[in-house]
Amino acid sequence: MDTKTTIADLLAAKRQNRKIVAVSCYDYTTAKLISQTEVQMILVGDSAAQVMLGFDSTLPATMDFMVAITAAVRRGAPNVCLVADMPFLSYQVGKSEAVKNAGRFAAEAGAQMIKIEASGAYLDVIKAVSDAGMAVMAHIGIRPQSISKIGRFKAEATTAEMALELITLAEQMVYAGASSLLIEGTAAEVAEIITKRCEVPVIGCGSGPSCDGQILIAPDILGLTQGPSPKFAKSYSNLANRTIEAFNEYSREIQAGQYPDKEHSYHMKAGELGRLEELLKGKL
């Protein structure tokens, strides 16, 4: 895609029943590759704390870290709709702090939309950031930043009462000013109802096929992650094994003296080696 995908484009896709393709990505190199595909949206998620830094939760991600990697992704993919993820404690401490931090993503990193993990307690934050002129993606369903409070994650809205609560929350988020919703780990039937009832684009993450779009993290798509993955994660390649093979081949060539060879080395200009040898003789 040559032209930048806008929020208006996403809304048009929803209204025309065209699926939105989104990827969570954290670095310039991967973003540059994604920019050459049909993917319309990149979310720079705070899951980078786990995928890039090796933590066991998203909580250690800081604003400075998130702004830096979001800016890197923008440089790699200037044509996508870029969504930045507000990390833990970047908005929970108050509306003014939330607006300030959201503004950093817009001004310093070129983000077009700000994602906020939102319960009913943060409707005023959604409204404040929206009123400040920034588009908000409200993240509902499973909310990874709440892991320290709930202990472990389980599928959301699996009972009628829970479903009604989440549907109501989704509608409240839109009323507060959310331009989009991300629904994670939610019963497919409920995600479908929310998608039909809400006028804004709804992106699903482990929430069934009826959302307006879908998102997975790039390492899962590429088959780079090792070990257990969420039930909804699907790999479209097996780059982990191929990457290991490449590093092993690199190691073998070095140990065998095959790399670097003449082709992969720089060389003196013609005749200069002889001149150097003469100069060295003069120094003996």
In this structure, the chain runs to a length of 284
Whose tokens are 């989104």? That residue is 22
Closest CA to 129 of 178, 66, 163: 178
Residues 6+ apart with CB under 8 A from 219: 51, 225
* Active-site amino acid positions: 184
19 vs 213: CA distance, rounded Å: 5
Q: Where are the alpha helices (DSSP H) in 143-223?
A: 147-150, 160-176, 188-197, 218-222
| Residue owning tokens 């996403």 | 10
Q: CA separation (Å) from 206 to 14, 189, 192, 203?
A: 19, 12, 12, 10
- Give all strands (DSSP E) within the chain, no chain letters: 20-24, 41-44, 81-85, 113-117, 135-141, 180-184, 202-205, 213-217
